[in-house]
Amino acid sequence: MNPAYSVIFFTTASGAGYGLLALLGLTASSVGQSPSLAFVLVSMVLALALITAGLLSSTFHLGHPERAWRALSQWKTSWLSREGVAAIVTYPFALAFGLAWSGLYPAPDAIAPLGVITALLSLITVFTTGKIYATLKTIRAWHQPLTVPVYLFFALASGSALHLALSAFFTRDPGPVAPVALLSLGTLAVLKFLYWRAIDQAPRDRTMGDATGLGDHVRQWEVPHTTKNFVQREMGFVVARRHGKRLRGLFYILLLVAVLLELLAITIPLVSIIAFFIVFISAWVERWLFFAQGEHVVTLFYGNAQA
Amino acid sequence: MTALPQTTSKKLGLVIDLDTCVGCQACATSCKEWNTQGYSAPLADEDTRGADPHGPWLNRIHGYEVEDTNGKDSRVVHFPRSCLHCETPACVTVCPTGASYKRAEDGIVLINPDTCIGCKLCSWACPYGAREYDVQEGVMKKCTLCVDRIYNENFEPEDRQPACVKACPTGARHFGDLGDENSAVSQLVKERGGFDLLPEMGYKPTNKYLPPRAKRDTPQAGIEALPKGDGSAMDRLFKLADRLLSGN
Amino acid sequence: MSAEPAIALSPKTWDEIKTTTCYMCACRCGIKVYLKDGTVTYIDGNRDHPVNKGVICGKGAAGIKQHYSPGRLSKPLIRVGERGSGEFREIEWEEALQTATTWLSDVRKSDPKKLAFFTGRDQSQGLTGWWATQFGTPNYAAHGGFCSVNMAAAGLYTFGGSFWEFGEPDWKHTKYFLLFGVAEDHGSNPIKAGLGKLKKRGAKFVSVNPIKTGYSAIADEWVGVRPGTDGLFVGAIIHELLNAGQIDGEYLNRYTNSPWLVIDNKGAADHGLFARDENGSTLVWDAHKKAPVSTSDHEAARALMGRFTLPDGRNVATSFQLIAERYLAPENAPDAVTERCGVPADTIRRLAAELAHVAFKETVTLDVPWTDFTGRRHEKMIGRPVAMHAMRGISAHANGFQTCRAIHLLQIMLGTIDTPGGFRYKAPYPRPIPPHIKPTGKPDQIWPGEPLPGPPLGFVTGPEDLLLAADGTPQRIDKAYSWDAPIAAHGMMHMVITNAAKRDPYGIDVLFMYMANMSWNSAMNIPDTLKYLTAKDETTGDYVIPKIIYSDAYASEMVHYADLILPDTTYLERWDCISLLDRPISEADGPADSIRQPVVEPERDVRPFQTVLLDLGARLKLPGMTTQEGNARYPGGYPDYIVNHERAPGVGPLAGFRGAEGTQSGKGAPNPNQLQAYIDNGCHWFYELPDEHKYFKHVNKGYLDWATGFGLIGKPEPIIHQLYCEPLQKFRLAAEGHGAIQPPDGHRARIIEAFDPIPFWYPPFEGDRVDEAKFPMHAVTQRPMAMYHAWGSQNSWLRQILGRNWLYIAKERAHSLGIEDGDWVTVTSHHGQIKGQAKLMNGVNPDTVWTWNAIGKRSGTWGLKKDAPEAKQGFLLNHLISELLPEREGGYRFSNSDPVTGQAAWYDLRVRVEKSSDQSNISSPQFPTLNNLGVGQ
Ligand SMILES: Nc1nc2c(c(=O)[nH]1)N[C@H]1C(S)=C(S)[C@@H](COP(=O)(O)OP(=O)(O)OC[C@H]3O[C@@H](n4cnc5c(=O)[nH]c(N)nc54)[C@H](O)[C@@H]3O)O[C@H]1N2
Ligand SMILES: Nc1nc2c(c(=O)[nH]1)N[C@H]1C(S)=C(S)[C@@H](COP(=O)(O)OP(=O)(O)OC[C@H]3O[C@@H](n4cnc5c(=O)[nH]c(N)nc54)[C@H](O)[C@@H]3O)O[C@H]1N2
Ligand code: SF4
Ligand code: SF4
Ligand code: SF4
Ligand code: SF4
Ligand code: SF4
Ligand SMILES: [Mo]
């Protein structure tokens, strides 16, 4: 699949945003009123800004952004629609939570329930995003049990890394999220390892012969058109195996560096800012690979022997 | 909208004969031509004079080569591919806007160009590459089964068929109701062993393909080899000429 | 789900539908053009039209993009820069016509043959040929010489019809169809529809072709013959059939010259000619009387075989005796040819058996009584349902004429011509063998200011008909009808520019061309062609070809090399007629013709070429185009001519709706409302023959009488198939030293060899002349179904489908050459080298590489941007094909053509293929970018 930057940006930015939001909600609901108004304001604004920027960027790749509202209508069947609904529904709760938590609108009793609801909605939104991909039978690498967990843990890892960074900046204290950050990074590494192993081991047992009904010995002789069409551009992207391997390696290295930095942050809190950026970059690498290595079954019609 | 109808009263679709298609592209250009001015118009092209001309086409003709099992003999198969109007297509159910839908009346899968937001998700969900995005119009395009022809009262009844079917010079394309066992298309599918593309994907395509027939290059039954030359060929010819004279 | 949007199921996307005729290729289907507010919105096939019966092809449906192409010319142009620089000035039509008139009238007044008027994809040869006649130049031809004159000539000299579009398989009844060397052909839609019918009926379809794509891909059997060797393959089938006595003796005896007596008198001036009686009648041997009798004696017991002695002592043999002797010889046995033609001997034997079986055991009988020319009534029409068809795979070789004759011999031996299930004539065929028109242009037929006494093109029957100057050198600029190519019935357009630039046989003054991209894809040897077009005389500094007038509708490569451009309309903007006097669209079931009507008005300053030609004719005061008062004879332009011109009394361009009332067909006075009558009838006219006239037309008394009355033939005489071709023997005798008109010595051997009156095979010249080890492969092109020569590439839809080409090569062969899919390779011939990108496939003869024809474009033409893939990755084989053969003993270079007909031998090309050291993503050669004449951007 063609790794469209708007979509990569959307999923990574809003992932980090929702992750942060979820962690804010959860920590707030357990810790209560924030020690620092600045922290609350900045982290809430940042979370919502990341989410909003991501959502906006995802509308940029729409042919008709002005009709985007229509995407809310099919929540009964479409995960994309559900994502939209979940995203929208999250906003008022997140705002209410932010107001309460920051004390701008004093409602201490509401913090915990609002925090939990916001966290839940954030995770649901990320879940729906993951589902969009995981339910596509046409792309074997996405149609995997681990697709959704990876999305969720990426949200948590990048959200928690950001949380760490913000805490460090405002409170010089890694805060309660440090273990979550480390744990989610570790889980992510494991999940991603398992995911990649799964897609590498999954038999590419759909053949050009199945697609065309022409049996085992079929090969493409002539393309329908001599210049590439939409389907080839969108679905036909391939990344060289070698290249893919290197990027996977890079991903692990980035995760490792992030873990080390987050550990280091226990003593030098500000390092966690760097850690966040490293996690964010790793998210980009992972997401790019997720697309680039998402082999679409339609490529069988365009010369791919197996998918 | 994005929910699929439980059943459709008809299952209109195409039957494409891979044994007869010569790859002439008539169905492709006729389709482009009709559909650039019909329903969901136009099908706008990019860089029409330049290095990278491309644009949405609702029907494309592939060329494949099939080797015999012995790896030597082979055949070229021309393979037209358009929307198969699946019975349970995810292209419809993934659509967030309801722009994609399957008609309850005849099973035709359509996109509403007025509500499509151009998110392209449906094209990801289609295993058959039948959905093509129109950059200039900002909406997804696909074969409409010429819904604006097949019921069009401005046409003579015999012209109420898809543009591609009407065009096809070899008669390799057939249109009809595949839900009706007795329809000509259903009969053809039965007789010729029409098959589904990627059936295991579970989309249940309505369109069917007829396989290339076994080649008839072995001696046909009842044909005897001609007698081998035995040096008397001239005599034989003379006898034949003689028979002519005597009128036998 | 209730929320389905309401959609308009009956939109009317047009406000008007007009019928006319397609011109996206030469098939000429009937189309319906849908218009909305005067704009063309949709084109589809006309269901009532005899040619396509409602279907349309890939090109036809893309006609809109041709019509609205940004590559169109919009104003007359006159060259201001150097030739080939593309620097032109826009001028008004009056200036353009004045200029042309001045140039042309100068020529006409001095030496009319110094005008060379050649037309390419011309569908109005009736008019253009007549115009040349009126002008007085013999130097006229359309594209037939580089296209498929081998097919036309072989057919017309053998059975009075031809493949090409002059006949068609009996799609309805045939049970076995053998197709030679066809990728697309002119009967584009009819062939496709026919193949569809065969498939439906389960008839067997065998394709003989080095490449297995398109039609061949759906064949039941593919015979991957080696290019240029079909004659061997067919000869071996004939060998097998004769060997087994599987021939239609009665058909041969009655309807062919098989029993005619040929003089056997080696070395004498009458050797190989037909024996004739004192009345000049040819003879057969009456086996009962044991004496020769006239071939007009239909009661005689005709001996099909045998050698006899005439009362005057001369030895004779029947034609068929000679044919049988030749083909029964061991060198024509399957085992003897298999290696050279690449078809297993067993396959040949099996195919022969299948042919015999279907022809003789699976006959088709129609319950239709008919009477043959001898008055014999036949209660039924009994058909031998084997049909054959062939085109450029056969014709574009230097042995194509004889190979095509061999195919006809095979058809006729099986008794399949114009029988149910066989190959059927289309009106105006069958015609006398050959048609009774002689070429005009002998020295005493060309006079300043005078028309020619006859048409430039025709059919020679002996050396006396050649167009030779007093010294025996060619009279025509293309050397047609000279000893270089005596039966060049369609001229030799591919030689005009070379010969004119070399002033061989003489220099010309004006080159006037129409619809032919002669500086590119229709030229052989493009690099030198461009030099010839721009060559200057060293002493005067003038161009050697001083003036070039050209009519095109688009910014083609050729336009850039002309001096005066007459921009034409598109096919949707003009009148045209598809005439029985020209290349008709008839059906086997009866004659048909059609018109084009303008369905839209041009919004550019362009004029239909035919009208311009008539206008020029009037300005030049050409007799046919001027009244006695000196005014224009057809002031209404081409439509005026179509209606009012009479070739002979009552015979005009259109056969339908003649007579004042429009009720006559064939012959009849001009009808002023004829065009409207055509329009009302969907722009075509078709007369369906009664059932008893539909078959055996060449010998069917009823049909022959009708055809005479209708004006298709002069006399109701039978058309007896000429298996033994006496005119060829006459040329041979001359070469052997008999008669007053003899070839130059250097030509004798080749005439003696090639002009065999009995079909035979010889190796194509290029393969014969070059070192096979150095050039081991054959290279050929195929027509892509969705492109018409050069035109398609400017079409914004079609160029998406085929915007560039590849060089296809057999997988195993490629691997042995170290070539992988996608590698750039060099292709080298004895003449030049190109670079293209390779694609590997299985379905191709291992000794053959191929590519799609005419996809490669020169950068900066056709209104395409300069980096268009057509120019940057596309390529042509034409650069590799020399228009002249390698030098022969004596230094003379014959044209790369069939020695009999002058047919350009495009597919004799021999090459070597290697992986290129330059793997950059660009083809070569690349010529300097042209300037598109300002169109297209
Ligand atoms: N779409 C389309 N239609 C066209 C045209 C076009 O440009 N595009 N051009 C028109 C014109 S001008 C013409 S002349 C006709 C020509 O129509 P065709 O006769 O179909 O011409 P080609 O495409 O040259 O095909 C020649 C075929 O002969 C095969 N061949 C080559 N050498 C040999 C040989 O030695 N033996 C045998 N058996 N086969 C051989 C080639 O593989 C190829 O398949 O098409 C007309 N119709
Ligand atoms: N290598 C190779 N070369 C070949 C062949 C091959 O098989 N292989 N085939 C040969 C054969 S058979 C043929 S017939 C030739 C064909 O070659 P050409 O006869 O040159 O055919 P086109 O390339 O179509 O060029 C015809 C010209 O007509 C112009 N034209 C189009 N429409 C109109 C119009 O309405 N009015 C006017 N005035 N002009 C118009 C086009 O712009 C173009 O410049 O090519 C030959 N060349
Ligand atoms: S072919 Fe593709 S677009 Fe058409 S219905 Fe099936 S899944 Fe949807
Ligand atoms: S592109 Fe249009 S039709 Fe396709 S899923 Fe998106 S909104 Fe629906
Ligand atoms: S049915 Fe209509 S829209 Fe579909 S492929 Fe055919 S012409 Fe195109
Ligand atoms: S029009 Fe018919 S023969 Fe031509 S490509 Fe389409 S299906 Fe095949
Ligand atoms: S076959 Fe030729 S004439 Fe007929 S529709 Fe196609 S392009 Fe037009
Ligand atoms: Mo041609």
Q: What pLDDT shows up at residue B42? A: 86
B81 part of contact set with chain C, CB < 8 Å: no
Residue A221: which of B76, B93, B133 has the nearest Cβ?
B76
> Which strand (E) or helix (H) includes residue C685?
strand C684-686
C217 part of contact set with chain B, CB < 8 Å: yes
pLDDT for residue A16 is more than 80: yes
Q: What pLDDT shows up at residue B230? A: 64
Nearest CA to ligand 7 atom 8: C60
Query: pLDDT confidence of C152, banded at 50, 70, 90?
Result: very high
| Preceding omega of C344 cis (within 30 degrees of 0) | no
- Give the mutation target among B15, B25, B34 for probing the ligand 6 site: most ligand atoms within 8 A of CB: B25
Q: What pLDDT shows up at residue B4? A: 92
What is the least distance, in Å, from the CA of B135 to any CA of chain C?
16
Q: Which atom of ligand 2 is nearest to the CA of C571?
A: 35
Share of chain C above pLDDT 90, in %: 96
At C718, list the tokens: 């039978």
Q: Taking a contact as any Cβ pair under 8 Å apart, which residues of chain B between 104 and 123 contact chain C?
A: 104, 110, 112, 114-115
Q: How far is the CA of C788 from the centre of ligand 8 (A)?
A: 10
At C363, list the tokens: 């006959």
Q: What pLDDT shows up at residue C2? A: 47
Interval C400-405 mean pLDDT: 98
- Across the interface, whether the CB atoms of A227 and B209 are under 8 A apart is answered no
Interval B68-90 mean pLDDT: 88
* Residues of C with Cβ-Cβ distance to A227 under 8 angstroms: 800, 803, 869
| Residues making up chain A, counted from first to last | 307
DSSP symbol at A238 = -
Q: What are the pLDDT digits (tens) for C768-801?
A: 888 999 999 999 999 999 999 999 999 999 999 9
C453 part of contact set with chain A, CB < 8 Å: no
At A208, list the tokens: 């050009």
* Residues of C with Cβ-Cβ distance to B147 under 8 angstroms: 7, 9
Q: Reduced to 3 states, what is the DSSP secondary structure of residue B227?
A: coil
- CA C633-C638-C644 angle, to 5 degrees, is 55
Residue A64: which of B54, B126, B139 has the nearest Cβ?
B139
C921 part of contact set with chain B, CB < 8 Å: no
Q: What pLDDT shows up at residue C936? A: 78
Q: What are the pLDDT digits (tens) for A76-107?
A: 999 999 999 999 999 999 999 999 999 899 88
How far is residue A248's CA from residue C813's CA, in Å, rounded to a whole number? 40
- Give C921-932 as a 3 state SS string: CCCECCCCCCCH
Nearest CA to ligand 2 atom 43: C517
Q: What are the pLDDT digits (tens) for B114-128?
A: 999 999 999 999 999
Q: Taking a contact as any Cβ pair under 8 Å apart, which residues of chain C between 297 and 326 contact chain B?
A: 301-306, 324-325
- Across the interface, whether the CB atoms of A226 and C841 are under 8 A apart is answered no
Q: Is the CB of C228 under 6 A from ligand 1?
A: yes
Q: Is the CB of C112 under 6 A from ligand 2?
A: no
* Residues of B with Cβ-Cβ distance to A230 under 8 angstroms: 54, 56, 123, 132-133
Kindly calculate the radius of gyration of chain B based on its CA atoms and give it in whole angstroms: 24
Q: How far is the CA of C396 from the centre of ligand 1 (A)?
A: 9
Chain A residue with minimum CA distance to B197: A211
- Across the interface, whether the CB atoms of A1 and B124 are under 8 A apart is answered yes
Beta strands in chain B (DSSP E): 12-17, 59-67, 74-82, 100-102, 109-111, 132-134, 139-141, 173-177, 208-210
- Sign of CA pseudo-dihedral B18, B23, B29, B32: positive
Full DSSP string of C735-791: HTT-SS----HHHHHHHHHH--SS------HHHHHS-TTTS-EEEEEE--TT--TTG
Q: What are the pLDDT digits (tens) for B41-69?
A: 789 999 999 999 999 999 999 999 998 76
How far is residue C268's CA from residue A246's CA, in Å, rounded to a whole number? 87
ipTM of model: 0.96
Nearest CA to B222 among C361, C390, A150?
C361
List CB contacts of C8: < 8 A, sequence separation 6 or more. B39, B148
Nearest CA to B185 among B163, B165, B201?
B165
- Across the interface, whether the CB atoms of C193 and B171 are under 8 A apart is answered yes
pLDDT for residue C1 is more than 70: no
Kindly calculate the radius of gyration of chain C based on its CA atoms and give it in whole angstroms: 27
β B74-82/B12-17 pair status = unpaired
Domain boundaries along the sequence of chain B: 12-221
How far is residue B93's CA from residue B203's CA, in Å, rounded to a whole number? 11
Q: What are the pLDDT digits (tens) for C205-264?
A: 999 999 999 999 999 999 999 999 999 999 999 999 999 999 999 999 999 999 999 999
Q: What are the pLDDT digits (tens) for C841-892?
A: 999 999 999 999 999 999 999 999 999 999 999 999 999 999 998 877 667 8
Q: How far is the CA of B57 from the centre of ligand 5 (A)?
A: 10
> Which strand (E) or helix (H) includes residue C522?
none
Q: Which atom of ligand 1 is nearest to the CA of C143?
A: 12
Interval C362-372 mean pLDDT: 97
* Residues of C with Cβ-Cβ distance to B57 under 8 angstroms: 800
How far is residue A162's CA from residue A172's CA, in Å, rounded to a whole number? 14
pTM of this structure: 0.96
Helix residue spans in C173-280 (DSSP H): 188-201, 214-217, 230-243, 249-255
Domains of chain A: 5-302 (1.20.1630.10)
Nearest CA to C809 among C774, C772, C836, C790?
C836
Q: What are the pLDDT digits (tens) for C303-361?
A: 999 999 999 999 999 999 999 999 999 999 999 999 999 999 999 999 999 999 999 99
How far is residue C204's CA from residue C817's CA, in Å, rounded to a whole number? 37
Q: What pLDDT shows up at residue B220? A: 58
Task: Specify whether the CB–CB gap between C369 and C380 falls below 8 A.
Answer: yes
Q: Which atom of ligand 5 is nearest to the CA of B14?
A: 1
> Which strand (E) or helix (H) includes residue C596?
strand C592-596
Interval B196-220 mean pLDDT: 86
pLDDT for residue A210 is more than 70: yes
Nearest CA to A235 among C883, B121, C647?
B121
Q: What pLDDT shows up at residue B231? A: 63
Q: How far is the CA of C180 from the centre of ligand 1 (A)?
A: 10
How far is residue C120's CA from residue C143's CA, in Å, rounded to a whole number? 5
Q: How far is the CA of B121 from the centre of ligand 4 (A)?
A: 6
| CA distance from start to end of chain C | 49
DSSP symbol at B131 = -
Nearest CA to B197 among B57, B74, B82, B27?
B82
Interval B79-97 mean pLDDT: 97
Neighbours of chain A (3+ CB pairs under 8 A): B, C
Share of chain A above pLDDT 70, in %: 100
Task: Specify whether the CB–CB gap between C849 and C837 falls below 8 A.
Answer: no
Q: What pLDDT shows up at residue A172? A: 79
- Across the interface, whether the CB atoms of A227 and C803 are under 8 A apart is answered yes
Q: What are the pLDDT digits (tens) for C264-318?
A: 999 999 999 999 999 999 999 999 999 999 999 999 999 999 999 999 999 999 9
Q: What are the pLDDT digits (tens) for A181-208?
A: 999 999 999 999 999 999 999 999 899 9
Query: pLDDT confidence of C510, banded at 50, 70, 90?
Result: very high
Nearest CA to ligand 3 atom 4: B83
Query: pLDDT confidence of B109, banded at 50, 70, 90?
Result: very high
List CB contacts of C477: < 8 A, sequence separation 6 or more. C113, C116, C139, C495, C496, C499, C500, C505, C506, C508
Q: Does domain B12-221 have CATH number 2.40.128.20?
A: no
- Give the mutation target among B11, B40, B83, B144 for probing the ligand 3 site: most ligand atoms within 8 A of CB: B83
Q: Is the CB of C225 under 6 A from ligand 1?
A: yes
Chain A residue with minimum CA distance to C214: A222
CB atoms within 5 A of ion ligand 8 belong to C 147
- The dihedrals phi and psi of C498, each to the nearest 5 degrees, come to -60, -50
Mutation target vs A (from B19, B22, B54; most A CBs, 10 A cutoff):
B54
How far is residue C188's CA from residue C25's CA, in Å, rounded to a whole number? 8
At A2, list the tokens: 């063609």
Q: What pLDDT shows up at residue B70? A: 63
How far is residue C711's CA from residue C714's CA, in Å, rounded to a whole number? 7
Q: Which atom of ligand 1 is nearest to the CA of C397?
A: 35
Interval C123-144 mean pLDDT: 96
- Across the interface, whether the CB atoms of B117 and A77 are under 8 A apart is answered no
Cα→Cα distances C483→B25, B26, C654, Å: 44, 45, 37
Q: What pLDDT shows up at residue C937? A: 61
Q: What pLDDT shows up at residue B71? A: 55
Chain A residue with minimum CA distance to B90: A136
Task: Specify whether the CB–CB gap between C212 and C848 falls below 8 A.
Answer: no
* Residues of B with Cβ-Cβ distance to A84 under 8 angstroms: 96
Q: Is the CB of C25 under 6 A from ligand 7?
A: yes
> Which strand (E) or helix (H) includes residue C317?
strand C315-318
